Structure 1
Amino acid sequence: MNDVTPRRVTSADVARLAGVSRATVSYVLNNTPHQTISASTRARVLDAAAGLGYAPSAAARTLRTGRSDVVLCLLPDWPIGHEVGALLAHLSAGLDQAGLTFLAHPGTRRPAGHLWRSINPAAVLAFRRFSAEETESMRAAGVAPVVAPLSRPGTPEGPQQRIGDLQAAHLAAAGHSRIGYAYPDDDRVRGFAEPRLEGVRARCAERGLAPPQVQTVPLEAEAAAGAVREWCAAGVTAVCAYNDEVAMAVLAGARRSTDEPSSLAVIGVDDIPAARLAEPALTTVTTDRATVAAHLVAAVLAAVHGEPDPVLDLADAIRVVVRASA
């Protein structure tokens, strides 16, 4: 049995099938401006390329245009759950529509410079601030640095603070004056947990309420029950949880530790599919992932073309989904 590697389809193959020159194929597939190519010729080229499964070489395109079409996304060492996965899916689709290739790289110990230099992307999207040296190096290489606004510790009005603020505001409006905060048992998400907690603290202070009583809650019912008992002993009647998974751990702990588990109000974050199946169904704060992804795509395109950063309207992107738990 012969083990023959299939030959890569080239632009010459597309040109031969479409009955045009390779230059015409290049003009059509790269949307080259100021070319007088008829609609019928353009259609023949596109049909031939699709029929052959032709994909232009990224390396050749970089040499030809001086710019890669890759957007390298440097993911921190995060658990890739429903929220992050959905955001990445929207982001990939949005960049694809813009003619860019999305490449996500999960947390690594390698310096970021090693990654982007080996790929030579059009842009690097990160969820932390770049150092001045990193920014200068990327720009000198023609790579656009982009920082996502999802987790920027130290910014008083960031998205994560807004999430915590909405959680506490919802509970306070329902008449709860003693609020707990269920902190995650996972150091990888500290960059999200801390600003969310700050948002809860700020809203409690604004309402004249006591600071939230913080308990670390593992994703384990018996351990969560211990946290619930401490909250109840301290007079806490409602809990803001770091996310929906932690919130469901609190609900499970309440069922184990109190005679009336429904007396403890709980609000989560993310609106994962299981939130509506919890008992009681979980009230939560959701972020419109499509809106955030569209903002990130716009931010990447602006950075690549040297235009000002777009502004993300948090009022449209983040809201409370009210169910039975709070």
Structure 2
Amino acid sequence: MVDGRVRRVTSADVAREAGVSRATVSYVLNDTPHQSIPAETRRRVLEAAARLDYAPSAAARTLRRGRSDVVLCLLPDWPVGPEVGALLGNLSAQLARRGLTLVAHPSTREDRPIAEIWKAITPAAVLAFEDLSEAENAAMRAAGVALLVALLGRSRQRRHELEVPQQRVGRLQAEHLAALGHERLGYAYPDDPRVAIFADPRREGARAACAALGLPAPVTCTVPLDGAAAASAVRAWRDAGVTAVCAYNDEVALAVLAGLRVCGLRAPGDLAVVGVDDIPAAGLADPALSTVTTDQSAVAAHLAETIVEVIHGRTEPPGPGDEITRVVRRAST
């Protein structure tokens, strides 16, 4: 203890405890390749480190390697709902298994330049969900920071990009409703422009499914998260002969159900409704909400593996298959 503070255990303390040099401690704890360390010496070092509760200095490790073990996730201006939260939680766990730490940061260029954020952390990799400028990309490459852009198919650069099958979500919704005999569909579009990157491909997927089935394109209405406002959309769909609605997500679908109640109507008899995400409230709704769910643990595992491969300059693994997305049918359809 120094000046009332607990002194940090160092590699020198481990070396003294194990009776070896600091270099040997470094070789053992960093699992340095091409070093012939006897098994007995390795055991003594590991036991000494455990007895002393030694934890390597992250700052020192960063200086030595030129980067940290951090993956910086630059989040766009998205509402962090259950689905994004689940993805971040699963991704954090997957990266931890690979010796990496996830740090999420809103990428607000207006408040702080992106370069200031990643330079403050010196990450192993940056995961972005929107295109960065060529100057930003070049600066990261020069600093040895790997970049993975997961853009739902909208990247201009088409490199280190993860395709998330949002169009398949919309197709599954429309195909589910068509299989139940509905021929005139509606689409409940969100009133939050921040989620257009998800909403647009989902709507396009529903349109593509209808076209493939010989059905008219879905009638789109913007649906706020308000029962009275949603009732206006319900009336518009009813006037257009719509009998079933694909909603952007479960929250919008719940607003449609509220709009039905305002109109004195009920799903699925008057209007069938299917959402997306399978949030906890979906199963508690009245009627219980049908939805499309995506295995976020599988998405996170693929993202984590891709990040590791990009860090090491290797070929990215193939993406997860369509089977990770499925319909959960409940009473609303």
Q: Same fold (TM over 0.5)?
A: yes
Name 2:215's counterpart in structure 1: 209
Aligned 1:106-185 pairs, distance under 5 A: 106-108=106-108, 109=110, 110-150=112-152, 152=154, 159-185=165-191
Looking at structure 2, the residues matched to 323 and 153 of structure 1 have their Cα atoms a distance apart, in angstroms, of 36
Between 98-107 and 51-60, the greater mean CA deviation after superposition: 51-60
TM norm structure 2: 0.89
Query: Of 187, 194, 197, which aligns to 1:188?
Result: 194
Distance 1:50 1:318, change over 3 A: farther
Aligned 1:209-228 pairs, distance under 5 A: 209-228=215-234
Cα RMSD (Å): 2.4
Deviation of 1:49 after TM superposition, in Å, equals: 3.9
3-state SS of 2:332 partner = coil
Between 125-134 and 176-185, the greater mean CA deviation after superposition: 125-134
Name 1:300's counterpart in structure 2: 307
Q: Determine if contact 1:151/1:191 at 8 Å carries over to the other structure.
A: no
Name 1:245's counterpart in structure 2: 251
Deviation of 1:51 after TM superposition, in Å, equals: 5.3
Name 2:8's counterpart in structure 1: 8
Give the AA of the match of 1:293: A
Distance 1:281 1:120, change over 3 A: same
Give the AA of the match of 2:13: D
Pair 1:102 & 2:102 matched: yes
Looking at structure 2, the residues matched to 151 and 246 of structure 1 have their Cα atoms a distance apart, in angstroms, of 24
Q: Determine if contact 1:78/1:107 at 8 Å carries over to the other structure.
A: no
Give the AA of the match of 1:245: E
Question: What CA deviation, in whole Å up to 9, does each residue of 1:210-261 have, x standing for no partner?
Answer: 1111111111222212211211121111111111111111112112213444
Query: Of 257, 280, 289, which aligns to 1:282?
Result: 289
Instruction: Quote the sequence identity (%).
Output: 65
3-state SS of 1:262 partner = coil
Between 7-16 and 241-250, the greater mean CA deviation after superposition: 7-16
Name 2:21's counterpart in structure 1: 21
Looking at structure 1, the residues matched to 50 and 168 of structure 2 have their Cα atoms a distance apart, in angstroms, of 45
Between 13-22 and 278-287, the greater mean CA deviation after superposition: 13-22
Q: Determine if contact 2:29/2:46 at 8 Å carries over to the other structure.
A: yes
TM norm structure 1: 0.90
Deviation of 1:102 after TM superposition, in Å, equals: 1.3
Q: Determine if contact 2:302/2:320 at 8 Å carries over to the other structure.
A: no
Name 1:65's counterpart in structure 2: 65
Across the two proteins, how many residue pairs are aligned to each other? 324
Looking at structure 1, the residues matched to 261 and 172 of structure 2 have their Cα atoms a distance apart, in angstroms, of 26
Query: Of 213, 237, 246, which aligns to 1:231?
Result: 237
Looking at structure 1, the residues matched to 171 and 265 of structure 2 have their Cα atoms a distance apart, in angstroms, of 30
Looking at structure 2, the residues matched to 217 and 13 of structure 1 have their Cα atoms a distance apart, in angstroms, of 64
Give the unaligned 5+ runs of structure 2.
none
Distance 1:182 1:5, change over 3 A: farther
Give the AA of the match of 2:195: V
Aligned 1:248-259 pairs, distance under 5 A: 248-259=254-265
Deviation of 1:291 after TM superposition, in Å, equals: 0.8
Give the unaligned 5+ runs of structure 1.
none
Q: Determine if contact 2:107/2:114 at 8 Å carries over to the other structure.
A: no
